[in-house]
Amino acid sequence: MKKINQTLCQLVLITMLSLFTIKAKAACLIVNSQNRKVSSQNDLIYKVLISSSTNCPLNVIDLKKRILLLGLKTDVYMVANRGRNNSKLGSFSFFETIEGPNSQTQQAYIGHFTSLHGQTLELSQNPADQGLMIEAIAWDLTKRVYNFYELIGQGTTAQWFYRGDSSDIIYDNQMLHLQPQGMPPQFGQRLRCSGCHSSGGPIMKELQAPHNDWWTIKRNLSLNQFKLSPEVQSQLVNLKSAEELSAKVNIGIETLEQSPTIQNTLRKNLKLLLKPLFCESEINLESASMPLDVSNKIKVPTTSMLNPLLGKIDFTLTKQNYLNLLNQYHIRFPESNDRDADHPWLTPVKSRRELIAIKNLIQQGVINQYFAVSVLSIDFKTPLFSEKRCSLLKLIPSKPAGLFETWKDEFINELQRSKTETSLELMSKLSVSNEPNSLTFINIQSYIQSLQKNSNQINTADNLFRNLLVKRKEVFTSDISKNPKGQILEPGFRVIFPVFFSLLNN
């Protein structure tokens, strides 16, 4: 009898352990990159994932069901990863915003992707592929930063990872443009997201209309050549226009920029705080407003020619002149072999986040407008990726941020000691007075007027077009694209720019 009782007890114990194991597997376990369970986070994604002890959502469809059960909703947006007119590989991304009961909880974003299986367009949600199934960003109401999550396929199942937050990204990128002379750029290893979300917040590269490769109400993306899986069809039912996502991302950018947590982190080092004025950590993409096939004239984005804080340039060329430039430089769009991207003059530009940061620096009294103009006027004909202007960042005092008057003289002394042509140029502007240097504005206005006056001259357009080609290349060769964990334009996954036709055969 005693032996029978022992056997029964063992069976009961085994059964209880089995039930516990099943429940544990069903519950949502969120781990960090070291596979350790993460502590509780106060953001919408975390709350959605742990809202039930069973049925952990391990694909985007189940995640969205959970969101709906909690009384939340998502808005869906769509972008063609390899060009609006280059959809034959079936590569698209869906980005979704999660809306809660108040504005604070609306700041959550998820992204996921499609793939082609035969002729059927499906969501890439197969854990057997062992790839990224979902990426998510959510505002943490306690930390007042964004948290970054990923759902990664594990073969037969999938695993949710918490990768870190906005502060981790700032620390990963703190040495960008500040590495010792002659050294390659140095990056931290906290999270992969640091390669693209280099300021720690949501990004939308085509933030400004016309949102070249995005689905919009005016210009839908073509899916006619595909059979659509039921899951893809469900995504398309309430597809929203890219303008709405742009507005939400802009709110997200400003929310992070105003975060006391982020400001306190940046203000510990004046170099980090002033980096947006001197250098680039992010970029956006802009283009002419009308598609090439319906354009009569091509209006060049003003931000590709001059930092918008210095002025605006109205430069328009005829469609024929633009087509001549495409032919002259043998431009074609990769894979589709079209003559150009959907919208002409697609160009990288200074990011909106960095422009907002510069304005905030002025409002906070860290710099004044004269200082901002003086710095931006250095090599002003190169509004993006100016090595001359960026090199001056290292001369900013390595100290906590204070009001402008508390560190200005120290910086001027560093400029003088440096004795480079660029540093002496800036020193001369800052040493004169606290009023804008009239010669600086004369030079900038002269540049604006010269471009506008000669917009019909083919030599002027040719010079600008050459510069466009250089800037497209520099996005990939710049330090911002040398993070080993990822590049801001995701080469291999996304195809954005047309290229020299000769390069397609290399």
* 159-192 per-position pLDDT tens digit: 999 999 999 999 999 999 999 988 888 998 889 8
What is the predicted pLDDT for the residue at 77? 98
pLDDT at 435: 59
Helices and strands, counts by H and E, the chain: 16, 15
pLDDT of residue 50: 94
pLDDT for res 465: 96
- Of the listed ranges 9-13, 31-35, 401-405, the one predicted with least confidence: 9-13
pLDDT at 14 over 80: no
Q: Is the pLDDT of residue 105 over 70?
A: no
What pLDDT sits at residue 503?
A: 46
Task: Check residue 436 and give its pLDDT.
Answer: 54
| Three-state DSSP string of 38-74 | CCCCCCHHHHHHCCCCCCCCCCHHHHHHHHHHCCCEE
CA distance 205 to 173: 19
pLDDT at 17 over 70: no
* pLDDT mean over 324-330: 95
Mean pLDDT of the chain: 90
Q: What is the pLDDT of residue 238?
A: 87
pLDDT in tens, 277-326: 999 999 999 999 999 999 899 999 999 999 999 999 999 999 999 999 99
What does the alpha-carbon distance between residue 238 and residue 216 come to, in Å, rounded to a whole number?
A: 12
55 or 383: which leads in pLDDT: 383
Q: Residue 1: what pLDDT?
A: 40
Q: Is the pLDDT of residue 341 over 50?
A: yes
Query: Average pLDDT in the 331-347 region?
Result: 93
Query: Which pLDDT score, from 0 to 100, does residue 336 have?
Result: 87
Predicted confidence band at 25 (pLDDT cuts at 50, 70, 90)?
very low
Q: How far is C-alpha 176 from the geometric centre of its chain's CA atoms?
A: 16
Of 429, 392, 433, give the one whose Cα is nearest residue 414: 392
| 134 compared with 403, residue with greater pLDDT | 134
Q: Which pLDDT band, with edges at 50, 70 and 90, does 24 fall under?
A: very low
Task: Give me the pLDDT at residue 433, please.
Answer: 57
pLDDT at 9: 40
Contacts of 253 (CB under 8 A, 6+ apart): 199, 201, 202, 352, 353, 356
For the stretch 455-489, pLDDT in tens is: 888 899 999 999 999 999 999 999 999 999 889 99
At 501 the pLDDT is: 62
pLDDT in tens, 36-59: 999 999 999 999 999 977 789 999
What pLDDT band is residue 219 in, cutting at 50, 70 and 90?
A: very high
% of the chain with per-residue pLDDT over 70: 91
Average pLDDT over residues 223-236: 95
DSSP for 142-174, please give it.
TTTEEEEEEEEE-SSSEEEEEEEEHHHHHHHTT
Position 420 pLDDT exceeds 60:
yes
Q: Which is it for the CA torsion 461, 464, 468, 473, positive or negative?
A: positive
**C-alpha distance from residue 345 to each of 305, 319, 320, 388 (Å):** 12, 11, 14, 25
Q: What is the pLDDT of residue 434?
A: 55
Select, from the ranges 174-183, 264-273, 334-343, the one with the highest average predicted confidence (pLDDT): 264-273
Tell me what pLDDT residue 12 has: 33
